[in-house]
Amino acid sequence: MCAALFTAATLSISVAAKDTSVQWPVLGGTDLEQRFSRLDQVNVDTVGKLGLAWSFEFDSNRGQEATPIVIGGVMYVSTSWSRVYALDAATGRQLWRFDAQVAGRIGFDACCDVVSRGVAVADGRVFLAALDGRLIALDAKSGKTLWSVVTTDPTQPYTITGAPRVMGDKVIIGNAGAEYGVRGYVTAYATATGKQSWRFYTVPASPTAAPDGAASDRILKKVALPTWAGHWYEHGGGGAVWDAIVYDPELHRVYIGVGNGTPWNHQVRSEGKGDNLFLASIVALDADTGAYQWHYQENPGESWDFDATQPMILATLKISGRDRKVLMQASKNGFFYVIDRTHGQLISAKNFVPMNWSSGIDMATGRPIENPDSRYADKPFVMYPSALGGHSWHPMAFDPQTQLVYLPTYQFVMVYGNDPEFSFRPGTWNTAISYVLQEPSDDPVALKNAMSSFQGRLVAWDPVAQKEVWSVAHPTLQNGGVLATAGHLVFEGTGAGRFEARCASSGELLWSFQAQDGIMAGPATYELDGVQYIAVLSGYGGGFALGAAAGQPTPRPNGRVLVFRLGGTATLPEFSMTTAAVHAPTERFSDDQVSDGRLLYTQNCYRCHGAGAQSAGVLPDLRRSGALADHAAWSAIVNDGALESQGMVGFKRWLTPVQIEDIRAYIALKAKIAADHDESVPQAATPANK
Ligand code: CA
């Protein structure tokens, strides 16, 4: 069925358009970031013969989110903890390795794992944005540092996980940290020297502050400042540009996706007043000067962690008989936006996941029609999609032959409510959302049922008709990034560790590979000496993997790059990892201790160690910690920071010794429940955080 469609609909187009040599020179395949390749040696008829050509193991088992870049037969790939590898793209032989040597404590400042989404390569230079805020240019041949600039204030909890993009003679980078309290911006530097060209702040500073001397000064004062109220500037206001930055070579512009505010809660951040520009917006800037061109705000007065940072695809679509230069984004808020990128006008928007916070977009104003309850002013609101997003950073792809966008989506419900206890805590998370409402059930069965209601889907979306054409559900919590090819194939990894190829027009599963670990990253494809290769990184982690209640941890091998070709016969090394049991202390703790500890854990610990103290195995499952039954060891780690070099900073800055002991009491209860329920199941030891 798939092959017939392939022949009729696409083969002639793909052959006519085929290049003699196609590699993967930028993150999204081309500057338009469609993540589509004209290569068709691997196609619906041949994909059954696809096998592993080679694999290369990294030295970190944290999350891997990068798409490799292939230029001149060399693969350049960044990994967690800000390392870069140059590999022979045909064989996987290592040519050089660079380690930015980020201090372990910086890991604490990263909301969503110590990941990197990729490097940029141009003119013999490899550009890495390190987790600690540096932008580093490396010699592409040797891996030696050419220049390095600090792009963020090291006294503030900024991090960088996004990939830089090159636009002509400039390289641009954003940053992250809005959950902690920072002021977001992007900066462009000269690729040759690292000299700063321009900077654009996404939110205004204090009305009484001197101008920044930045490209954003005029527009912030004139347009953005009047949309804010209260004392947002004391904590930066947020607006981090932590992922999508897309250079438009056709219009010589760059589009940036701006994230949520600090804190999330609009009532607290801005007294519930104003649109708070440019939060949750797509902003177009002149590539040479950073001058403002246009913006589209997806969530005026954003209050739910609805970043507008998701990947953006540029294309030309025929809409109502007319060619339109469009920008497409499937936003966290659940709407698929098609925007005319010449002037920023919204063409259409439709929800691609079920939603209850909005009934649609008012096309006269471009604003969402909100369910008033969704602002949780008087009472909590159970909302979908929610902070995880209907879609997050995972790359989507656009196939110009099928005219479909292939989109990894999520369905995840969250309870939002005001936190009457909120006060700003420097250096850690500040959402001003009630944590009491986030406490998961202690009943393992109820928790498992709740988690299984969350779903990942791969959706084929018609962006002109704004409707789903086909979709497949993943019986796992998370799906990965997507690649589309002229072979009429859609490639996607899954959190359960499968790498799959599907028919582009029907979604039929045509091929899959078991990778030993979850796959989140976007795949790439390239041709060398007449052979087409498909590459993807394995390595589970990231914000969702850290925070979700996983039931029991899965042993995590080091991340790898996996490279496939027709007739490939390589295999992965045997994987086994020692397992360890739950350490349930025999001490007795009071009900009050456990109850206080439950809330404190939810406030301070779950984002890394898993909701309900049930880690997925990326970071340690504390029910299995050797320190759990030892008050002194527990205090040395949690209070004093004995494991700071691994990212586990001491909490005495925020918590009292009594509170730290309460958290131990809560995890002791969880360990006891696990010991009672999971006795027959071998328990995984989480390897050291490396
Ligand atoms: Ca966010």
178 CA → ligand 1 middle, Å: 7
As a whole number, mean pLDDT of residues 596-601 equals 94
Distance in angstroms (rounded) separating the CA atoms of residues 262 and 238: 5
pLDDT tens across 226-240, in order?
A: 999 999 999 999 999
Give the pLDDT score at 216. Answer: 98
Of the candidates 132, 248, 275, 305, the residue annotated as catalytic is 305
- Of residues 679 and 619, more confidence is placed in 619
136 CA → ligand 1 middle, Å: 25
306 CA → ligand 1 middle, Å: 7
As a whole number, mean pLDDT of residues 648-666 equals 96
Confirm if 125 and 191 have CB atoms less than 8 A apart: yes
Class of domain 21-566: mainly beta
Q: Which amino acid is at 606?
A: Y
532, 285, 267, 286: which is closest to 378 by C-alpha?
Answer: 267
Catalytic residue list contains 45: no
Which range among 416-420, 582-586, 626-630 shows the weakest confidence by mean pLDDT? 582-586
DSSP E strands: which ranges in 341-488? 345-351, 358-362, 367-370, 381-383, 397-399, 404-411, 414-416, 455-462, 467-474, 479-485
Give the pLDDT score at 688. Answer: 47
Which range among 412-416, 447-451, 580-584 shows the weakest confidence by mean pLDDT? 447-451
pLDDT tens across 341-398, in order?
A: 999 999 999 999 999 999 999 999 999 999 999 999 999 999 999 999 999 999 999 9
As a whole number, mean pLDDT of residues 255-269 equals 98
Which residues face 494 on adjacent strands? 479
E strand or H helix that includes residue 604: helix 591-604
381 CA → ligand 1 middle, Å: 19
Distance in angstroms (rounded) separating the CA atoms of residues 255 and 400: 21
Give the helix ranges, DSSP H, for 191-314: 217-219, 266-270
E strand or H helix that includes residue 637: helix 631-638
User: Which of the four pLDDT bands, split at 50, 70 and 90, describes residue 690?
Assistant: low
Q: Is the pLDDT of residue 477 over 90?
A: no
E strand or H helix that includes residue 14: helix 11-16
Tokens of 235: 């904590």
299 CA → ligand 1 middle, Å: 13
Q: Is the pLDDT of residue 462 over 70?
A: yes
Distance in angstroms (rounded) separating the CA atoms of residues 23 and 516: 27
Phi, psi of 670 (to 5 degrees): -65, -35
Q: Is the pLDDT of residue 97 over 50?
A: yes
As a whole number, mean pLDDT of residues 583-608 equals 92
Q: Which amino acid is at 188?
A: A
Confirm if 686 and 617 have CB atoms less than 8 A apart: yes
Q: Is the pLDDT of residue 18 over 50?
A: no
As a whole number, mean pLDDT of residues 477-484 equals 89
**Per-residue 3-state assignment (H helix, E strand, C coil) for 518-551:** CCCCCCEEEEECCEEEEEEEECCCHHHHHHCCCC
238 CA → ligand 1 middle, Å: 9
pLDDT tens across 665-682, in order?
A: 999 999 999 888 764 344
Provide the edge-to-edge strand list for the sheet that holds 145-150.
Answer: 120-122, 125-129, 134-139, 145-150
pLDDT tens across 302-351, in order?
A: 999 999 999 999 999 999 999 999 999 999 999 999 999 999 999 999 99
Distance in angstroms (rounded) separating the CA atoms of residues 501 and 44: 9
pLDDT tens across 124-177, in order?
A: 999 999 999 999 999 999 999 999 999 999 999 999 999 999 999 999 999 999
Q: Is the pLDDT of residue 10 over 90?
A: no
Q: Is the pLDDT of residue 649 over 50?
A: yes
Tokens of 473: 């559900």
User: Which of the four pLDDT bands, split at 50, 70 and 90, describes residue 21?
Assistant: low
User: Which of the four pLDDT bands, split at 50, 70 and 90, describes residue 286?
Assistant: very high
305 CA → ligand 1 middle, Å: 5
Which residues face 79 on adjacent strands? 83
The residue whose two tokens read 């991090």 is: 159
User: Which of the four pLDDT bands, split at 50, 70 and 90, describes residue 478?
Assistant: confident
566, 505, 507: which is closest to 8 by C-alpha?
Answer: 505
Tokens of 223: 């347009």
> At CA 595, angle to CA 593 and CA 596, rounded to 5?
65
Give Cα 122 distance to the centre of its chain. 24
Give the pLDDT score at 11. Answer: 44
Confirm if 157 and 181 have CB atoms less than 8 A apart: yes
Q: Is 679 exposed, middle or buried (0-12, 13-18, 19+ CB in 10 A)?
A: exposed
Tokens of 297: 């705000």
Distance in angstroms (rounded) separating the CA atoms of residues 465 and 470: 13
- Of residues 586 and 578, more confidence is placed in 586
Confirm if 347 and 324 have CB atoms less than 8 A apart: yes
Torsion of CA 505, 509, 510, 515, to 10 degrees: 130
Q: Is the pLDDT of residue 5 over 60?
A: no
Q: Is the pLDDT of residue 102 over 90?
A: yes
394 CA → ligand 1 middle, Å: 14
As a whole number, mean pLDDT of residues 530-536 equals 97
Q: Is the pLDDT of residue 664 over 50?
A: yes
User: Which of the four pLDDT bands, split at 50, 70 and 90, describes residue 12?
Assistant: very low
SS3 assignment, position 659: helix
User: Which of the four pLDDT bands, split at 50, 70 and 90, describes residue 446?
Assistant: confident
571 CA → ligand 1 middle, Å: 38
The residue whose two tokens read 């032989």 is: 93
Overall pTM > 0.85: yes
User: Which of the four pLDDT bands, split at 50, 70 and 90, describes residue 218?
Assistant: very high
Distance in angstroms (rounded) separating the CA atoms of residues 151 and 129: 9
pLDDT tens across 30-47, in order?
A: 999 999 999 999 999 999
309 CA → ligand 1 middle, Å: 9
307 CA → ligand 1 middle, Å: 5
489 CA → ligand 1 middle, Å: 32
E strand or H helix that includes residue 37: strand 36-37
278 CA → ligand 1 middle, Å: 14
Give the pLDDT score at 683. Answer: 43
33 CA → ligand 1 middle, Å: 22
